[in-house]
Amino acid sequence: MRKKQYNYYRDQLLSFEEGDFEWMTLGYVTKKWYSGGTPTAGKPEFYEGGNIPWLRTQEVKFSDVSETEVFITPAALKNSSAKWIPENCVIIAISGATAGRSAINKIPLTTNQHCGCLEIDDKKALYRYVFHWVSFNYENIKALGQGARGDLNSTIIKNFRLPVPYANEPEKSLVEQARIVAILDKFDTLTTSLQEGLPREIELRQKQYEYYRELLLSFPQFPSSGGVPEGRGGS
């Protein structure tokens, strides 16, 4: 129910009255586009003991990224197309089954070649506003994929349009974007908390129930001689 409520308000907040916004491309609000690369697999010097976060598309899940499952070494960075990406970029998976998914990196990191990263120009748009918009349009972006794998590329992504409120008044535009982001972030936090917290809470309550049930239904055994104690039953 909370997810449906979140989707409803997101739809309302990202739908503008005519004249209150202008359609701009993602390229217009982007300062720089970053691509990634994959260091040669099977080379221990590229992975063992690495401390450089390296993001793969399966970790792009419409959320903030504060850590990665895999790390690479400086040698891997030097000998591959992987490159450092500044924090707070809008990351979009551009290849395969995950194409169209988005995330925000809360730490500087590197990615594989199946991720495209938009460093947003903060004078034109808020990165979280852009993130909410591309997340909202996941299916539309995914549908633009080409070839058997449905791959996206920088041209497709940067040509995708988003509504910029009060585009001719930058300060007013950023204030309105911030208002929208604040509301959507609250709903996002709530739904994430429910999705992650409720199963754990249910599990704890189930264990608590089983513990007390065992205590309450554990009685001293009857004497070994058998029979029913006097006055405790029988006809």
* Domains of the chain, CATH where assigned: 23-166 (3.90.220.20)
For the cut 70, the answer to whether the pLDDT of residue 197 exceeds it is no
Q: Which tokens is 213 given?
A: 């049930």
For the cut 70, the answer to whether the pLDDT of residue 145 exceeds it is yes
Q: Which residues contact 140 (CB under 8 A, 6 or more apart)?
A: 160
What is the rounded average pLDDT of the residues 200-211?
68
What pLDDT does 67 receive?
97
What is the rounded average pLDDT of the residues 78-83?
96
What pLDDT does 222 receive?
53
**pLDDT band with cut points at 50, 70 and 90 for residue 207:** confident
Contact (Cβ atoms closer than 8 angstroms) between residue 10 and residue 132: yes
Q: Which residues contact 168 (CB under 8 A, 6 or more apart)?
A: 22
For the cut 70, the answer to whether the pLDDT of residue 230 exceeds it is no
Tell me which residue of 155, 162, 193, 195 sits closest to 180, measured CA to CA: 162
**pLDDT band with cut points at 50, 70 and 90 for residue 13:** confident
Q: Which tokens is 121 given?
A: 């120009």
**pLDDT band with cut points at 50, 70 and 90 for residue 235:** very low
**Chain mean pLDDT for the chain:** 86
Q: Rounded distance, CA 38 to CA 91, Å?
A: 16
For the cut 70, the answer to whether the pLDDT of residue 11 exceeds it is yes
The H or E element spanning position 198 is: helix 170-216
What is the rounded average pLDDT of the residues 69-76?
97
Instruction: Decide: residue 162, CB within 10 A, 0-12 exposed, 13-18 middle, 19+ buried.
Output: buried
For the cut 70, the answer to whether the pLDDT of residue 169 exceeds it is yes
Identity of the amino acid at 31: K
What pLDDT does 216 receive?
65
Tell me which residue of 171, 179, 97 sits closest to 132, measured CA to CA: 179
What pLDDT does 96 receive?
86
